[in-house]
Each structure stands twice: as structure tokens, then as C-alpha cells.
Amino acid sequence: MFNLPTENIGGQELFVLEFGDIVNYFSPYTAALFAFALIFTALAIVSRPERQVDIAFGGDAYYAKEVDVDLLRFQRFMAIACGLATLGAMVSGDVFNFTLFASLVGITNIGIVAAYKNKHVLNAAFQYGIVAMLATVPLFGGAAIILASTGTLSMWELFADGVVVPIIAKAFLVIGVMGEGMAPFYVAKAEITRAQGAPFILMVHVSSLLLFLRVIEIVISM
């Protein structure tokens, strides 16, 4: 046990997973987020997409869209990749790893809808891609400022008393994660939900919300 120094925020440390000097940790909080990401990744693996019902313009007719198997496979692959990146971000004990996983989530989010052949969806994916890419500047900038000012990116060190992390670095981290899909930047991806494939589209939102929840724990703990 490494004695997580922030028991009064995310709860007591339950389990650690060491990769050399990178030590991931499970507290009640991070374990709950990890479990939730795992559930929705499993759902993306086992679920088939819905057949969207659209109403024909100018009458009472409606039709149900068919499921494109090739599209399904690609969306499922990207949703699983997104789920794995989210799982990594949830228990990461290192700020740089967290930012890497966050940017990977942004990339896979675009991938989930990029193969869908609809002008509105592709436009939204393009706009969201720009926002997500711009957001990586404050995201990695925040991590860089933390490293420059404290000499470490390990959360185990940063969460300890006496280590002062500049508030601008915390703000950059939050803004960077918000750019991956939280309010108010989510408006860029509202049209993404037109795309078929609910279990995969849902991963876009699951990953964004979970990333936001994790970054809040990180900035409060530092």
C-alpha cells in the first residue's frame, strides 16, 4: 500500500497497479468510475445498433434504416478503443498519462462517427475534431506547467501536502478536458447524435463525462 494522501476526497486507496514508476490506483471513487466505463465498454461489445426510425417528409410514412455491417464493425472497434482509453484515464496515477488518455478519447470519439455517411454528422465530427485538437493545447500545457513548477507528474507526489500546483495549471487541465466534450464545448458535437449506433455513440458521452469527473478529483486533490 502506498497511502494515498487524499482519503478525504475520493476515499481510501483500495488497490494499486504498478507499471515501473507509474502507479495507477483504485479508490472507491476511481474504482466506481472504472466500473462504469467497463460496463459501457462491455455494452458496446455485446450490443447491436438500433434501426433508426425516420419520418418521411410531407406525409405519414416512416421507414426504418438498415444496419450497415461494415459501419457497425468500425464503430464497435472505435468504441472499444475509446472504452479502453477511458479505463486507463480513470485509474491513472500520473498526470501525463491522464492527458494522453484524454487526447486518445478525443480521437476515438471522432472515429466512432467518422465513417457514418451523413453530411450533418460529418460536419459535426469535423467541428468537434477542431475543438478537441485545440483543447489539447491547454491540456498538455497544464501538464507541462505542473512539471515545470513541481518537478513531477506523479499524482502520488502532487497530492501530498506542501506541493503547490499553480492554479493556472489546474485551470488548463479542466479546460482541456472540457474541450473533449463537456459543456459549453459539447455544442460542437450535438449533431453527432444523428448517427446510428446508440451503444457506440453513447461511448462518446460516457468517456467525456467520466474524464470530467476524473479531472475534478485530480485538481481538487492537488
Partner 1 sequence: MIPYLLFATFIGLLFHGIHRKVIARIQGRPGPPIWQEILHTLKFSFKETWIPKTASQTLFVAVVFVAIGIWSGALYVLLSGGSLLLLFGVYLLHKIVEHGMGLSSGSPYGKFGAIRSVISAASELPLFVTVIAIYLFTRSLSIADIVAYQEMYGPLLIVAFPAAVAMYLIILSKMHYGPFSIIEAKEIVSGNMTEHFGVWRAGLEVGYALKTYVLLYAFVLLFIGQLPLALMLLVMLLVLISLSFVCAITPMLSPYDTVTVQSLVTGALVIYIVILVVVMG
Q: Note the residues at the interface with partner 1 (CB under 8 A).
A: 7-11, 28-29, 32-33, 36, 39-40, 43, 46-55, 64, 182-184, 186-187, 190, 193, 198-199, 201-202, 205-206, 209, 212-213, 216-217, 220
Nearer to partner 1, 68 or 147 (CB): 68
Residue 39: C-alpha distances to residues 7, 24, 101, 199, 203 (Å):
26, 20, 18, 11, 11
Burial of 20 by CB count in 10 Å (0-12 exposed, 13-18 middle, 19+ buried)?
exposed
Smallest distance from the beta carbon of 216 to partner 1, in angstroms?
7
**In the structure grid, which three cell numbers stand for residue 59, read together?**
406525409
Count Cα neighbours of 18 within 13 Å in the Cβ-side half-sphere: 4
Query: Do residues 163 and 150 touch, judged by C-beta distance below 8 A?
Result: yes
Kindly state the smallest distance separating residue 220's Cβ from partner 1, in Å: 6
Cβ 111 to partner 1, closest distance in Å?
18
In the complex with partner 1, which residue's Cβ is closer, 168 or 187? 187
Quick one: 31 or 147, whose CB is closer to partner 1? 31
For residue 208, the minimal CB distance to partner 1 (Å) is 9
Nearer to partner 1 by Cβ, of 80 and 147: the residue is 80
Q: How far is the CB of 5 from partner 1 (least distance, A)?
A: 13
Query: Is residue 30 within 8 Å of 44, Cβ to Cβ?
Result: no
Least distance (Å) from partner 1 to the CB of residue 21? 27
Residue 10 or 138 with smaller CB distance to partner 1:
10
Q: Which of 149, 24, 26, 166 is nearest to 94 (CA)?
A: 24
In the complex with partner 1, which residue's Cβ is closer, 77 or 144?
77
Q: For residue 75, give the C-alpha cell.
A: 464503430
Helices 95-114 + 167-178 axis angle, to 10: 20
